[in-house]
Structure 1
Amino acid sequence: MRALRLNAWGEPPSLVELPTPEPGPGEVLLKIAGAGACHSDIHLMDWSAEQAPPAIAPPFTLGHENTGTIAALGAGVSGWEIGDPVAVYGPWGCGRCRPCRLSAENLCERTGELGGMGGGLGFDGGMADYELVPDQRLLVPLGDLDPIAAAPLTDAGLTPYHAIKAALPLLVPGSTAVVIGVGGLGHMAVQIVGELSPARIVAVDTSEQKLDHARRLGAEEALLSGPETAARIRELTGGIGAELVVDLVGAQPTVELAAAVVRSGGHVSVVGIAGGTVPVGNGTVPFDATFTGPYWGSAVELREVLALAAAGRLRADVETFPLEQAMTAYEKMRAGALVGRAVITP
């Protein structure tokens, strides 16, 4: 089979031929329909060994947003049939610690011992003709959802859903939610806030094209990022600030913007991993404001995201690329030329 492999830190991945895996006891082999391309993959390509998370190491096949159909079942797997369409829950934990038993494998207590954090993150992922999933607990049925359009829901949908859900008690009528960065994750964050709350949505980006996209998806205000953005958001909120700020970029200017526009008692969720930081302490941020760095979400939350999509209330706007053109997708991502999410279709 073909696979897009990251062979070493700091090197571009290469398309290689590998033997098609055979599932062992408890394992499931998927024929991949769609594998979402994520900006975190670019970090994997660019990181040095010193910058990379210690829990993962190359070589491995990229692709952590995966859907497909079951191609083969290992011994002992029950409740699934060959041909079933499924999504793969991305973070692979030990399955035994307390967070894992609560379906929150994104918070597994033993991640550092496992050799990887999930398919495409230390273990072989879905940018290949087939993916070997180590346990049936990591599969979620897709039902009638289009598997290609559903692939990004497993991360680009799940991660902002998890971040926004934590702040829902703040999003009452008259509240404001700011979404910074309305690309692959952000265009879904706009929809999720609109579906789960009555909050006014303010989208912020450096691209007019992406802001137009955010308006079509329900953002009441769409602002170009710049020196006046914080003042404009303060003006829109009567000088009080926003109840929720979701930063899908995480760069220094965006985390500073988030800290500047959150209200007292508000919530900032920094999802992006571009390395920005702000000092958090008494007198440095508004009173009782909370700052979190969410990572993915639980398997139960993935089921909720897929249910929203099945009800027609959430969609990933995707641009597809064959496996041979996967690097073209990443080049467009680096250039900021994608609106929505790129999906690789082996």
Structure 2
Amino acid sequence: MSYSSTSASFMSVTVILVAMMLHRSNGQLNATFYANTCPNVSSIVSSVVQQALQSDSRIGASLIRLHFHDCFVNGCDASLLLDNSSSILSEKFSGPNVNSARGFNVVDNIKAAVENSCPGVVSCADVLALAAESSVSLSGGPSWNVLLGRRDSLTANQAGANTSIPSPFEGLSNITAKFSAVGLNTNDLVALSGAHTFGRAQCRTFSNRLNNFSGTGNPDPTLNSTYLTTLQQICPQNGSGTALANLDPTTSDAFDNNYFTNLQNNQGLLQSDQELFSTTGAATISIVNAFSSNQTAFFQSFVQSMINMGNISPLTGSSGEIRSDCKKVNGS
């Protein structure tokens, strides 16, 4: 083959590769997606979240949980926000969400404020991602440039929500497998669990640890005994399963690294929390220790893991739609 034909074929291959890369990058999320169409979207979201926090100190944790529970089912597509309809079985009524997922009204308020400023532009899936970032930064945690450009799903997956979302009752190996199934690793698991540095949990999500753990007739041996007494007062046997305890007993509404120090002190509220530190030989232990001793390291990992989670199978380009009402598909 002559030099000129070789270079020509090389050039054509290069052009094709560049075209493929450009096409692929169009399908990826980016921080400036709304720079021209809705430049103030981040501040609009932040102001609504800030207002909500004034009357409900739990709302930050609730909003980040919505983003998490959305992304683990069919990717970050706002499928969680859809109500029941003739064709949709809502994820809101799945085991992990029913009577516990909350903050939907705040999402509606954010969406209304965004629609008022930039109608028909910003997806509900991106609203969830932006609300999660605002919730963290307004509570003393890190801030970051949220990658945007998701579109909204046309359907929900209640069965998927029942099986894909990690449960507070599961062992570390099961939870690790659920993270791995969506492309998240052990570092992501520990960093994202650190979101339990704020918010509350209902007694029913941890009462199995207080009196008859795994059928032993005794409390979970990994529970700090003083903390156990406190929790038994909040959640007496045969008491209300919906009574609330702080996920972080030390700084309940601040986003900091105390969650990891709590685990070292056997003060993780949920079984799934404490297992990160108390599972013999687990790869998670050294990460917990690192985050406990260095809040900056935790914040950096948390931001990267939130970006990783926000990248789970988004709908982009012409897939899905931009819902005008987050609770229902357009035209329904």
The structure in which a higher percent of residues are strand is: 1
The structure in which a higher percent of residues are helix is: 2
When Rg is computed on C-alpha atoms for both structures, the one with the higher figure is 2
Could you say whether these structures have the same fold, taking a TM-score greater than 0.5 normalized by the shorter chain as the test?
no
TM-score of the two chains, using structure 1 as the length reference: 0.26
